[in-house]
Structure 1
């Protein structure tokens, strides 16, 4: 009988987020007869009660990656000492976490390393303070040095792969996230203008841009924002300023939810206003529910998913005026854009759960 491969999955923030959801789905989809999975994260793993089978989870107290590197190395050494000469692969997600792969490789050369890049490298050129600028400049230097040493770097879209190839051309490949398990059917169209946004409430998501653009349209609408984050209070205050004390009639902050289906079923337009992206699972979910999408042309996978506007509307990133124009364009010819969404839905199979998990399984078995 073939011995199981040990996968050590390192995701610093294993929370209800795009990265958390994709990693959870990958773990659940992998054949447990082939793989023995261990997880390392910072703080609580928000998915630990949802795993079908018991998995060893190492939850480190500190949130600082620099302090946790020795602890991570000690955990990996412990797993190796108990491995009975099994093949071990250390898998990390996000550029700052992928740096840890380098230290694992240096200390334990027999362990294979796979770094998953889930956001555009262009993110490191976008900053919101001097401290943020300094951190991202240092991080960029690190990943330029470290990535060529990894056995494989997985980009979650072609845009990100092309960015990585500029400084690590020989070891990168694309595997799309496991975005959906089945094609949704019997979706009914909704009247009015019911807009949905899904994502963490962070500056880089550009939610303030959406609020400003919507404050200038003449159409009646309701915007539902699903997600949590440090920008919530600022966005609520901006909503009050733009829409008055009765802003709650138009803007609904509903927090984060594991089950998003009810929100998609109650919407007829999806907005993605990110300043940069990796691969947006939320856009795929919207298309799967027959919802037209308006997305920014930011660095990342938006234009790849929508094929540069073939399956949705693309607006100029950071431009509230262009976003307003695109919303008006949608309202003036809704049938045309619902037809676009329908055509896009027919191309979603390449982003399926089954295809993604099979690609990861082949990678881990053959690396």
Structure 2
């Protein structure tokens, strides 16, 4: 049965949750649902389907009171079956206003994209206060089982896990020529302390990869870049580590890598691992909270390393030089990916709609 759905997102650019929201608008529209994408900011770069309500533009044209009136009027005039909320929700009073004065007549599906629950719940140490700024009619959806279990342990909130899906239309290998960097492993992400590229650089330094002429490519931008460059100079890796600015279409760089490496402190559901495996590229990742353990089968389609153990990460990088083991893993990169296919995931969403 066709539903009228509002997909609420901070923007349509840059972030993983924002990309998930954009992909969801396309997939649900294909299924015949009436979709509206509501963007809090006037940053629209991702492809989407359905009607766009650009609240970012409204805020630019009007003062706060007038913008709030228009916001409330929009949700009053549009009776949605479900509002699927992909935003960060860490501002207590803002969320109280949303839930009590804007969403009070709606069923809201709150998506939780990261293991760090403080991104979605203020006053996490006081469960009743953390739960208060949510709509009365609500459902919580987590992007992996680990977050579902953690949410229940912290706040005793029931939720359902629905994985993010990979949009194969995004993987366009025709827009970029083959890499000219020779053999390399690649790390992809924003250069922040959460992503811990310093641990990747040190693990690479302690491995045998650079001695074998295998470079390390780091694809991304961010505040840690200067510090990471200093680390590379101190380790005398100037000729071995290459920084590249992030690009919307990194897939040829990933496809031509020997492996993709992830050394994050914490994640939600790292889509870059799915992208690499789909492109037949083995992955090496810390078993951080959360996501990698639900994607990687250790020594089968990649290497799942004891969380934050740099020594073991170095050993995993060295395993990439074992040609027999590497080729066996490369044969298995597609193993288990069927649960992350668009049709499978959208079936789970439609099942949820029918259960609510």
TM-score w.r.t. structure 2 length?
0.81
Distance 2:67 2:268 in 1: 26
1:360 and 2:339 matched: no
Alpha-carbon contact 1:306-1:312 (below 8 Å) kept: yes
SS of the equivalent of 2:304 reads strand
Distance 2:281 2:295 in 1: 14
Q: Deviation string for 1:115-166 (max 9, x for gaps)?
A: 1111113x75xxxxxxxxxx99955247763447551111111101100112
Q: Indicate how the Cα distance of structure 1 residues 255 and 144 shifts in structure 2: closer, same or farther if over 3 A, else same.
A: farther
2:217 touches 2:243 (CA, 8 Å); kept in 1?
yes
CA contact (8 A) 2:81 2:106 kept: yes
Give the number of aligned pairs: 339
**Deviation at 1:265?**
2.2
TM-superposed deviation, 1:203? 0.6
Give the corresponding residue for 1:106. Answer: 100
Q: In the aligned structure 2, how far is the partner of 1:328 from the partner of 1:71?
A: 60
The alignment status of 1:140 with 2:124, answered yes or no, reads yes
Q: Are 1:345 and 2:339 an aligned pair?
A: no
Q: Hey, what does 2:148 align to over in structure 1?
A: 161
RMSD: 3.6
Task: Check conservation: 2:38, 2:53, Cα contact below 8 A.
Answer: yes
Pairing partner for 1:93 from 83, 87, 90: 87
CA offset at residue 54 of structure 1?
5.0
Cα offsets for 1:166-223 (capped at 9, x unmatched)? 2444540011112243899x9x9x9974101111111110101111121223332211
Deviation at 1:305, TM superposition (A): 0.9
Query: Where does residue 266 of structure 2 map in the other structure?
Result: 276
Give the match for residue 48 of structure 2.
51
- Where 1:213 maps in the other structure, the secondary structure is helix
- 213, 219, 222: which one aligns with 1:226: 219
Residue aligning to 1:24: 22
Q: Which residue of structure 2 aligns with residue 319 of structure 1?
A: 309
Deviation at 1:260, TM superposition (A): 1.9
> Unpaired segments of 5 or more residues in structure 1?
125-134
Q: Distance in 2 between matches of 1:99 and 1:362?
A: 33
Pair 1:152 & 2:139 matched:
yes
Q: CA deviation at 1:257?
A: 1.3
Higher relative contact order structure (alpha carbons within 8 Å, sequence separation ≥ 6): 1
Within 2, Cα distance between the matches of 1:300 and 1:146? 21
Task: Rate the CA distance shift 1:34–1:191 in 2: closer, same or farther, 3 A.
Answer: closer
CA distance in 2, matches of 1:357, 1:97: 30
1:295 to 258, 265, 285: 285
Which stretch has the larger CA shift, 313-322 or 53-62? 53-62
In 1: Cα distance, 2:92 partner to 2:141 partner: 11
Cα distance, 1:267–1:285 mapped onto 2, change above 3 Å: same
Matches within 5 A, 1:65-80: 74-80=69-75
What is the deviation of 1:351?
0.7
> Relative to 1, partners in 2 of residues 1:211 and 1:74: Cα closer, same or farther, differing over 3 Å?
farther
Aligned-pair CA distance for 1:359 = 2.7
In the TM superposition, residue 348 of structure 1 has moved relative to its aligned partner by 0.2
Q: CA deviation at 1:294?
A: 0.8
Over 3 Å counting, the alpha-carbon distance change for 1:73 and 1:360 in structure 2 is farther
Shift of 1:250: 2.0
Q: Distance in 2 between matches of 1:161 and 1:235?
A: 34
Distance 1:40 1:74, change over 3 A: farther
Number of the residue aligned with 1:197:
187
8 Å CA contact 1:73–1:104 kept in 2: the answer is no
Change beyond 3 A, Cα 1:90–1:271: closer
